[in-house]
């Protein structure tokens, strides 16, 4: 204990380097996903503080128009650079906005193909770069990069939104090419997080469908010239050639053809040291490793690469031979601590197990002790689980480490008894219980612990703040010849093939008959950890679950936390659809605002026109939900009440004129259309035309209060059929956008009733 105390005391205080870094860019900007390249998510702004945050009010709302019906996650955090907000959507649309009004300056649509089978239809933001060789005002002197769900890296002119023709092929690099293991189907290889831009390079990872096959697409990290798009280096987390570092930690005839081990989350960087910090996920498949025996070095690790070359500088593995889907899910946070007045460059690594590791970011050596402790062995035929796993000290473990039948939870005696029986019927021997044929409890499961929400650091307060989830999962290995029967018995469970292994898999949430988690609440908390003392300063239940409000049970959270010098922590991401401001000193809630749908994004803040704004994307979530998904396309801005402050026009604009846009049916098919509206009685009518001639017919719109209703009777010549769409939506963005939901009745095919969305933009003739 004395040794541990001595080490934690070395993490006390703030080095002057932290303050210097805060001044290295404009305090009012937000120039990278986590504000700085180290991902601290801390802003030095303090116009909004604990004394006045109760006066925070909504000041504008922007709708992207990229509304989806049942799939998709609008998780983006905008950038504020050179006085302009830049935003991306799950469909890869990039928009530039006026930061004081939310008025759209330009928008670019990459036309993502919705017909693909995307595993995670999400996007978390864009990145930016200023070309030091470009003259002032030159086209693409400032570039915005977006990596789309269909695996394209696109460079746009920040001033106009037009593709930079000198980058790749007319502004685009195809990321699905030149992989050791190619995608087996469109959508298996995706990108969901923003690239990192460092030293004139744009560096990106990938999101790869889990549990389809052993030889999933390669999780290679690649760097491209920021100006030309030419590939400069690549690094594969799985060593492929004998003699390369880590090669001998992969055993088996097919081990070196294993896929994934990909960096799907957000990377961070230390430009001063030319270091890139890569959070690496698990190798394929997640729950059976008999085809990839060994420790599996670089998978489930944080790896520091030389940013200029891609060479490995150091690595730290958080899980050996993963059998739990325990990716490194979050952006590693680079921050500075001090001992005896000397700065210590540190890296905070949060994990799905709820473990927090603090490393020296120069070497990867732990600054807080890490012990290898014995864990349960797998009894599954062909599997060789690793006998130990790395554990930080107890204070750095943030979730419960036991789930006995006697600890079951239920809202009633009957529900609790059912959970007791369910827990007793499954394998569970602690946090690293291997997947099994009987069914094993993974607690915490793939949701965490910590997840991609990650951690935020206030260096001056020596405080790390993060959301923590506690929600048990059950994973069952399915013998190959039983796959069909399992699918018939469990139609609502997640079941995948894990081709190339003897077992498929099934994953379920551990809930009782009342659909309430079987583990004790709180199921979601916000935790503040004192980095100087190595102890929790406070932890509070975060949010509510519908029907259980006010009980302190908390809600699972995906989104992230914004910290400010005003002493505030802003957080959303819970099931109850609120944005909250908490006192950073105590965790007490000081303010909250309802959101139209869930805000599963990292909030951000900036100054524009002498006023501080807090902004969050609210798009809902297709899986983290109670009941059917409720999705949206909202960007909401808040500021202190100020009479006379600029707002976008909210009055009804004339609907007559030219509109272009699209219908999206069943979230899988896009129908681009255009039409001219003219008044007829109390309605507006037009004739829909499409460039491809796919659908056509008369459209009728009518105002209904603050919204619009539409009816479209269509012909579909290619399928010799037709039908009718009826829609309900809103006028948005000062009358420049019509967006809403559809009901589709069709005589085409087997599905006669479908759902969808519409989005129309006003255009000049």
Residue 19: per-residue pLDDT: 36
Look at residue 749 and tell me whether its pLDDT is greater than 80.
Answer: no
CA distance 320 to 671: 47
Residue 434: DSSP 8-state: P
Adjacent-strand bridge partners of 489: none
Q: Which domains does the chain have, with CATH numbers?
A: 657-763 (2.40.128.30)
Residue 26: per-residue pLDDT: 87
- Dihedral over Cα of 572, 624, 207, 360: its sign: positive
Residue 6: per-residue pLDDT: 40
CA distance 388 to 43: 40
CA distance 149 to 207: 9
Look at residue 277 and tell me whether its pLDDT is greater than 50.
Answer: yes
CA distance 79 to 606: 9
Q: Is 341 left (phi over 0), alpha (psi -120 to 50) or beta?
A: left
Strands (E), 681-720: 683-688, 697-704, 707-716
CA distance 591 to 715: 51
CA distance 443 to 403: 8
Look at residue 308 and tell me whether its pLDDT is greater than 70.
Answer: yes
For 272, the 3-state DSSP assignment is helix
CA distance 244 to 390: 24
Question: Higher model confidence: residue 3 or residue 298?
Answer: 298
Look at residue 463 and tell me whether its pLDDT is greater than 50.
Answer: yes
Instruction: Report CA-CA distances (Å) from 45 to 13, 32, 35, 412, 512.
Output: 20, 16, 12, 47, 45
| pLDDT, tens only, 134-177 | 999 999 999 999 999 999 999 999 999 999 999 999 999 999 99
Look at residue 16 and tell me whether its pLDDT is greater than 50.
Answer: no
* Residues making up the chain, counted from first to last: 765
| pLDDT, tens only, 94-110 | 999 999 999 999 999 99
Asked if 259 and 189 touch (Cβ cutoff 8 Å), the reply is no
Q: Is 586 left (phi over 0), alpha (psi -120 to 50) or beta?
A: alpha
DSSP 597-632: S---S--EEEEETTEEEEEEEE---SSS-SSS----
Look at residue 5 and tell me whether its pLDDT is greater than 60.
Answer: no
Look at residue 17 and tell me whether its pLDDT is greater than 80.
Answer: no
CA distance 468 to 454: 9
Look at residue 685 and tell me whether its pLDDT is greater than 90.
Answer: yes
Residue 25: per-residue pLDDT: 52
- Confidence band of 644 (pLDDT split at 50, 70, 90): low
CA distance 213 to 235: 22
Look at residue 61 and tell me whether its pLDDT is greater than 80.
Answer: yes
CB neighbour list of residue 86: distance below 8 Å, 6 or more residues apart: 78, 79, 80, 94, 95, 96, 97, 126, 128, 144, 158
Look at residue 760 and tell me whether its pLDDT is greater than 70.
Answer: yes
CA distance 455 to 559: 10
CA distance 196 to 204: 7
Residue 661: per-residue pLDDT: 95
**Radius of gyration of the chain, Cα coordinates, nearest whole angstrom:** 26
Asked if 151 and 191 touch (Cβ cutoff 8 Å), the reply is yes
Residue 2: per-residue pLDDT: 39
Look at residue 703 and tell me whether its pLDDT is greater than 70.
Answer: yes
Look at residue 351 and tell me whether its pLDDT is greater than 70.
Answer: yes
Residue 627: per-residue pLDDT: 79
Look at residue 10 and tell me whether its pLDDT is greater than 50.
Answer: no
CA distance 415 to 678: 59
Mean model confidence pLDDT for the chain: 93
| pLDDT, tens only, 536-579 | 999 999 999 989 999 999 999 999 999 999 999 999 999 999 99
| 744-746-747 Cα angle (round to 5) | 175
Q: Which pairing describes strands 42-43 and 561-564: parallel, antiparallel, or unpaired?
A: parallel
User: Is 325 a known active-site residue?
Assistant: yes
Asked if 502 and 290 touch (Cβ cutoff 8 Å), the reply is yes
- Confidence band of 8 (pLDDT split at 50, 70, 90): very low
CA distance 519 to 471: 7
CA distance 642 to 543: 29
CB neighbour list of residue 2: distance below 8 Å, 6 or more residues apart: none
The one catalytic residue in 120, 325, 576, 633 is 325
Asked if 203 and 276 touch (Cβ cutoff 8 Å), the reply is yes
Question: Higher model confidence: residue 315 or residue 718?
Answer: 315
CB neighbour list of residue 674: distance below 8 Å, 6 or more residues apart: 658, 659, 660, 661, 688, 689, 690, 763
Strands (E), 244-308: 268-270, 275-279, 301-306
Asked if 284 and 316 touch (Cβ cutoff 8 Å), the reply is no
The tokens of 292 are what? 């990839």
Residue 53: what are its φ and ψ, rounded to 5°? -60, -25
Instruction: Report CA-CA distances (Å) from 129 to 88, 523, 732.
Output: 16, 40, 31
| 537-539-540 Cα angle (round to 5) | 145
From first CA to last CA, the distance across the chain in angstroms is 75
- CA-wise closest residue to 211 among 284, 124, 158: 284
Residue 717: per-residue pLDDT: 87
Adjacent-strand bridge partners of 342: 339
The tokens of 522 are what? 């709180």
Look at residue 271 and tell me whether its pLDDT is greater than 80.
Answer: yes
CB neighbour list of residue 70: distance below 8 Å, 6 or more residues apart: 622, 628, 629, 631, 667, 755
Q: Average the pLDDT over each of 186-195, 325-334, 643-652 and give the range with the smallest value.
A: 643-652
For the segment 310-334, the average pLDDT, to the nearest whole number, is: 98
CA distance 557 to 574: 5
For the segment 637-658, the average pLDDT, to the nearest whole number, is: 73
Residue 121: per-residue pLDDT: 93
Cis? peptide before 285, omega within 30° of 0: yes
460, burial (CB in 10 Å: exposed 0-12, middle 13-18, buried 19+): middle
**Whole-structure pTM value:** 0.95
The tokens of 452 are what? 């991609």
- Confidence band of 652 (pLDDT split at 50, 70, 90): low
């Amino acid at each position: 204990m004395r040794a541990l105390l001595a080490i934690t005391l070395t993490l006390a205080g703030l080095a002057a380097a932290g303050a210097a870094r805060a001044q290295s860019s404009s305090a009012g900007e937000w120039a990278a996903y986590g504000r700085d390249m180290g991902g601290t998510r801390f802003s030095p702004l303090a116009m909004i503080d604990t004394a006045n945050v109760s006066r925070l009010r909504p000041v504008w709302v922007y709708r992207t128009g990229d509304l989806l019906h049942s799939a998709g996650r609008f998780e983006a955090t905008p950038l504020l650079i050179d006085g302009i907000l830049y935003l991306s959507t799950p469909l890869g649309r990039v928009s530039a906005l006026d930061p004081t009004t939310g008025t759209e300056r330009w928008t670019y649509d990459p036309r993502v193909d919705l017909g693909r089978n995307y595993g995670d239809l999400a996007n978390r933001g864009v990145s930016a770069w200023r070309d030091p060789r470009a003259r002032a005002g030159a086209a693409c002197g400032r570039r915005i990069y977006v990596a789309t769900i269909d695996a394209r890296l696109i460079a746009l002119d920040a001033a106009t939104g037009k593709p930079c023709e000198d980058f790749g092929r007319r502004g685009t690099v195809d990321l699905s090419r030149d992989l050791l293991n190619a995608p087996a189907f469109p959508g298996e290889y995706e990108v969901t997080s923003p690239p990192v831009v460092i030293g004139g390079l744009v560096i990106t990872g990938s999101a790869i469908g889990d549990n389809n096959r052993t030889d999933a697409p390669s999780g290679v990290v690649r760097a491209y010239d920021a100006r030309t798009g030419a590939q400069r280096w690549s690094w594969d987390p799985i060593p492929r050639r004998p003699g390369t570092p880590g090669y001998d930690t992969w055993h088996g005839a097919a081990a070196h053809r294993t896929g994934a081990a990909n960096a799907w989350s957000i990377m961070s960087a230390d430009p001063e040291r030319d270091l890139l910090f890569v959070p690496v996920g698990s190798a394929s498949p997640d729950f059976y490793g008999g085809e990839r025996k060994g420790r599996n070095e670089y998978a489930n690790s944080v790896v520091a690469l030389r940013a200029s070359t891609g060479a490995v500088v150091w690595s730290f593995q958080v899980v050996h031979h993963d059998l739990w889907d325990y990716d490194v899910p979050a952006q590693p946070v680079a921050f500075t601590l001090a001992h005896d007045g000397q700065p210590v460059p540190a890296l905070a690594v949060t994990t799905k197990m709820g473990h927090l590791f603090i490393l020296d970011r120069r070497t990867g050596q732990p600054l807080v002790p890490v012990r290898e402790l014995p864990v349960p062995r797998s009894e599954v035929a062909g599997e060789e689980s690793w006998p130990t796993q790395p554990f930080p000290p107890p204070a750095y473990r943030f979730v419960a480490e036991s789930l006995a039948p006697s600890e079951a939870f239920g809202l009633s005696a009957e529900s609790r008894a059912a959970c007791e029986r369910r827990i007793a019927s499954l394998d569970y021997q602690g946090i690293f219980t291997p997947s099994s044929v009987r069914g094993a409890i993974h607690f915490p499961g793939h949701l965490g612990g910590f997840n991609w929400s990650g951690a935020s650091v206030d260096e001056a307060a020596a405080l790390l703040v993060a959301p923590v989830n506690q929600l048990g999962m059950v994973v069952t290995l399915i013998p190959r010849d039983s796959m069909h029967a399992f699918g018939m018995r469990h139609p609502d469970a997640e079941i995948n093939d894990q081709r190339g292994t003897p077992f498929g898999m099934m994953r379920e949430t551990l809930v009782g008959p009342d659909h309430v988690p079987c583990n004790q609440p709180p199921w979601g908390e916000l935790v503040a950890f004192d980095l100087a003392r190595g102890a929790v300063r406070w932890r509070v239940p975060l949010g509510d679950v519908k029907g259980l409000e006010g009980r302190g049970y908390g809600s699972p959270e995906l989104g992230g936390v914004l910290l400010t010098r005003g002493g505030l922590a802003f957080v959303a991401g819970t099931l109850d659809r609120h944005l909250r401001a908490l006192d950073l000193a105590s965790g007490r809630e000081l303010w909250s605002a309802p959101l139209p749908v869930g805000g599963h994004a990292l909030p951000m803040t900036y100054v524009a026109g002498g006023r501080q704004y807090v902004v969050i994307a609210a798009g809902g979530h297709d899986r983290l939900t109670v009941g059917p998904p409720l999705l949206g396309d909202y960007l909401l801005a808040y500021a202190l009440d100020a009479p006379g402050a600029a707002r976008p026009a909210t009055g009804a604009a004339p609907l007559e004129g030219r509109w272009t846009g699209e219908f999206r049916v069943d979230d899988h098919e896009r129908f681009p259309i255009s039409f001219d509206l003219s008044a007829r009685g109390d309605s507006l009518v037009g004739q829909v035309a499409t460039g491809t001639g796919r659908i056509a017919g008369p459209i009728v719109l009518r105002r209904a209060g603050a919204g619009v209703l539409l009816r479209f009777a269509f012909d579909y010549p290619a399928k010799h059929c037709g039908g009718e769409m009826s829609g309900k939506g809103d006028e948005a963005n000062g009358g420049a956008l019509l967006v809403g939901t559809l009901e589709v009745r069709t005589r085409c095919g087997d599905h006669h009733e479908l759902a969808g969305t519409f989005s129309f933009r006003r255009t000049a003739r």
